[in-house]
Each structure stands twice: as structure tokens, then as C-alpha cells.
Structure 1
């Protein structure tokens, strides 16, 4: 059984629940019912809904990364609107938006690299577990827990841009509307990314906990006895360890694949924004 999060993640107040100046009904945006605007707002809400319902599984993490990727695609489509581009070229807050995007790019670049390290650590732990080598298990678990701390630090590093703070003061209504919805997409991405990183860290911690290593029967014997339903209490505990290992394996695989895709989409998004404002 997949471990559950010890506590659920609470969402920051969403600007879409307030009387927002950049809501799709605004007459200043390209069209009250423009499909690209509607799609962007729908993707923002989809990511928020996902983050508000944590499940603590690899499937939940996969869904979250997929939602984030779709949000980045919707945001890039929004950037292609002529009025969006005209506004960004003169927006006082464009540098802040670019800085936030760069921070997300850096976070995902570090995350993908850290996932590869976690993959190696977890593989070493499983190898030592199969050999019933308690000394090597302890050594590799120490390395894995160090990686878990690095992932937790990556999550906390995004806290600043996940709170939808106000952008630079501006009296232009159109600029407030357009940069506002871009800002909400970025802070929603950051908040969901924190949930992703925390989810990976939690699954890894469950697999590396001391409770998971009460006994060290081989994987092959565990698998056979598990399939025949012939397990004692200690063997039941080992089966839970085996299941935690499998869940983390899947989490690492999905994080490596989807994390790289989100990383690339964020790079493309920032390049698009830079191209818009560069003469």
C-alpha cells in the first residue's frame, strides 16, 4: 500500500475566487470568450484542484506533473496573443515575471539531477537488501536521506513565488489584467511544484524509514511467499517494505520522465517571453 502524506497541503488564496481585474469577462482582454484565455484559466484551476487533493502516491505525482505541463503549454499559447505581447513589451513587471520563470527552471533542473541521484541511492539500497548486508544498507540509506533533504530544500526554495504576491504597481488596467493572469499561472506552477517535490520526498522517506528494515529476507523469497499468501508477521512487514520499494521505483521513473518534460517546457516558455520583449 502506498504511504499517505502526514499532512495535506493547503492552497494559498486563489485570485480567481476574488473579484479579479483579469477575469475572462474583462473587456480589456482580447475577447471575453477567447479560447486561449479560457483554457489558461481552466488549467490553473485544474492544477489547484489536483494540489488540494493529495493522495501520496506515484500516480498522484504523475498526474500533477502532467497538469503542470499542460498549464505551461496554455501559458505559452497565451503569450502568442498579439495584445499579450504588446502589453509585455511595456510592462513594468516583466523582469519580475522572467526572474520567477528562471527560478522555476533552476528548480526543475536541480530536481531532475537530484532524482537521478535518488535513483542510484535507491538501487543501491535494494541491492544491499537482497544481499542482507546490513552495513551497506545503513550506508546507502544515509545517502538516500541526504537526497531527501535536498529535495525538501528545493521545495522550500519556491515558497516565495508560490504566494501570488503583488507585482510592481501599475496604473494601466490592461497591463494589470494580462500580467496578473500570467503571474497567477506562475505562482500556481510554483505551488504545485512544491507539492510534487514534497510528495517525492515523502515516498522516499517511507521507503528508507527504519520501520521498513526490521528484517532482511530476500526479495525473491518474499515475492513467492507473498503470491502464495504464506507469510508470518515479520514477513508481512517485509512485504510492506517490498511494496514501498516498488512505489518509490515508479515514482522515480515518472519524476525523471515528466520532470524533464516540465523542465523543457519551462525553458521554452521563458525563451518565448524573452523573444517577445527583445527588440
Structure 2
């Protein structure tokens, strides 16, 4: 038996071939187990990471911006899934030390997005209570509903804080080889980008909710009665402040419906990704 043999993961070209085509050599000198950086799946994944980071950097807090962010997160997760399903990727992650850390990250992302989805459902309920209180001119119920809404806002803000722990770069110092560093590095980048975008979405929803739950919009019984009257009679609201209140309520209601739908898809994709990664790290005997 031959001992002391170690498998090489990087096969440089022969001098003859490299002299003929040095440009081709730059693309093929990487590991035979890894797709090179020009591979469409890697290029697509890296492109989606850049797109979602650009979206997060252009925050405007609008409902359309929030919904776009969730859609971009879903697209990024789909790109991660495509890359994860490559046999070369699975072969490396099956034995990679860093896989356990990635499992933890995906679990945390799924847990926080699941909690966020539950918070969105609760916010929708409180918004219905707010509008019902307006129709009935019930200030006591209105104050109670707005107080409950602000409590959910704080919960969502706390979820965003927890996500910031995931967005910090994970160290790859314990990676066993260059191939693992490269594959795990791509996944870490994608997880970080997902976390950064999720923080922006969570914070955006909390801020939008706060703009509707602020008690300064309902400071006096007189203004509240005018709002209730306008709601009941469906008259045109002439006062700018009153119109702004109704506009915010309507916009936020539509936003919550869309966010709930998008969040359900993102949550399912996170769960499926973690299950796939778990199956790779613990293959059936």
C-alpha cells in the first residue's frame, strides 16, 4: 500500500499548455472539484448578492421598497439553492467544518423570519382594530389598539437587532482547505447579504408602523371625532392632517398584506435550504 499520498485539489496546467493560452489557464487553474469563478451559478449568486446589498443601501422606507427587498431576498435564496444542489458543492460541504456554522445561521434566519411573519399577522389584526375604532368613534378602543401596535413594533425592532448578529462575517479560520474556504466563503457572503437585507426590511416595517401608531395623530377628541365622521360618511377629507392619517392607514394595510405573502415564501425557502444543507452534512448510510 502506498502511504503518505495526499489528494491535490488544484491541478495547474502543463508549461506547454499554459504557454499557448495563458488566459485559459487563469480560468482552469482552480480546483477540479470546484466550478471556476466564471461558472454561471457562481456568477449569478454573486450578482444577486450585489443587487441585494445595493437595494439595502438605497433605503427610502416606502412600502414598495420593502416589498422589493423581500422579493430580492427570495431571489437570492433561490440562487443559493441552485448552487447548493451542485454535486461538487455538496461533496465539499459534506465534510466541511464550516457547514455546522452555516446550519446555525440558516436556523437563526428561519426562526427570525418565522417570528417576523407572526408579528405581521398580529399587526394586521391591530390595524383592523384601529379602523374599527374609527368607524365606531371609540377612542378607548383606538388607544388600546395603537398601544398594542406599538408593542409589536418593538418586537420587530428586536428581531432586527438579533439579525445583526448573523450579518457579521463568520470566520473561516478553521476551514480544512482552499476548496472549503472558497465554497464556504460564498455561502457566508450570501447569508450575510440575506441578513443585512432582512434587517432593512424589518426596520422598514417597524418604522412604517410607527408612523401610523403615533399618538400625535390622535391627540384630541375633536380631531378624532372628525376622522370618525369622515370615515362614516365617506366625505372628502379636506384637512391635510386628516387626509395624511387615512393615507398612511391605507398604505400600511396594503403593505402588510403584501409583506405577509412575500414573508411566507421567504420563510419556506429558508426552511427548505436548511433541510437540504442538513441532509448534505448527515447523508443517509
TM-score range, shorter chain: 0.7 to 0.9
Residue 87 of structure 1, CA deviation: 0.8
Distance apart, 1:169 and its partner CA: 1.9
Taking structure 1 as reference, are residues 223 and 49 closer, same or farther at Cα in structure 2, changes over 3 Å only? farther
Structure 1 residues 164 and 222: alpha-carbon distance in aligned structure 2, compared to 1, 3 A threshold: farther
1:202 deviates by 0.4
Output the CA distance in 2 between the equivalents of 1:263 and 1:178: 24
Classify the secondary structure of the residue corresponding to 2:110: helix
Q: Does 1:205 align with 2:221?
A: no
Aligned residue for 1:149?
Answer: 154
Deviations 1:213-260 (A, max 9, x none): 24222343685324xxxx2xxx21111000110121022111110000
Match of 1:224 among 227, 231, 235: 235
Cα deviation per residue 1:258-278 (whole Å; 9 max; x = unaligned)? 000000011111111111122
- 2:266: which partner in 1? 262
Partner in structure 1 of residue 123 of structure 2? 118
Going from structure 1 to structure 2, the CA distance change for 1:37 and 1:220 (only over 3 Å counts) comes to same
Residue aligning to 1:59: 64
Cα deviation, residue 106, structure 1: 0.4
* SS of residue matched to 1:225: coil
Residue 162 of structure 1 contacts residue 188 of structure 1 at CA under 8 Å; is this kept in 2?
Answer: yes
Match of residue 18 from structure 2: none
Alpha-carbon distance in structure 1 between the residues aligned to 2:184 and 2:233: 56
Gaps of 5+ in 2: 1-26
Could you say which residue in structure 1 is the equivalent of 2:50? Answer: 45
Q: 1:251 aligns with which of 232, 255, 258?
A: 255
Q: Is the 8 A contact 1:69 1:261 kept in 2?
A: yes
Separation in 1, partners of 2:118, 2:155:
11
What is the rounded CA distance, in whole Å, between the counterparts of 1:223 and 1:49 in structure 2?
42
Q: What's the TM-score once normalised by structure 1's chain length? A: 0.85
Partner of 2:30: 27
- Structure number with bigger Rg: 2
Which digits, 9 at most, give the CA deviation of each residue in 1:164-218, with x for residues without a partner? 2313422511110000010110111011101100000000000011222242223
Which residue of structure 2 aligns with residue 179 of structure 1?
184
* Structure 1: gaps (5+ residues): 1-23
Q: Secondary structure at the match of 1:224?
A: coil
Deviation of 1:41 (Å): 0.4
- Post-superposition Cα deviations, 1:40-88, rounded to whole Å, max 9, x if no partner, equal 0011011101000011111111100000000000001001112211110
Distance 1:48 1:88 in 2: 25
Report how far residue 31 of structure 1 moved.
2.8
- CA spacing shift, 1:223–1:167, aligned 2, 3 Å: farther
Q: Distance in 2 between matches of 1:250 and 1:111?
A: 17
TM-score for the superposition, normalised by structure 2: 0.83
> In the superposition, relative to structure 1, how do residues 58 and 142 fare at CA in structure 2: closer, same or farther (>3 Å)?
same
Distance 2:35 2:243 in 1: 57
Conservation of the 8 A alpha-carbon contact between 1:222 and 1:239: no
The CA distance in 1 between the partners of 2:182 and 2:42, in whole Å, is 11
Count of paired positions: 249
Matched residue of 2:236: which SS? helix
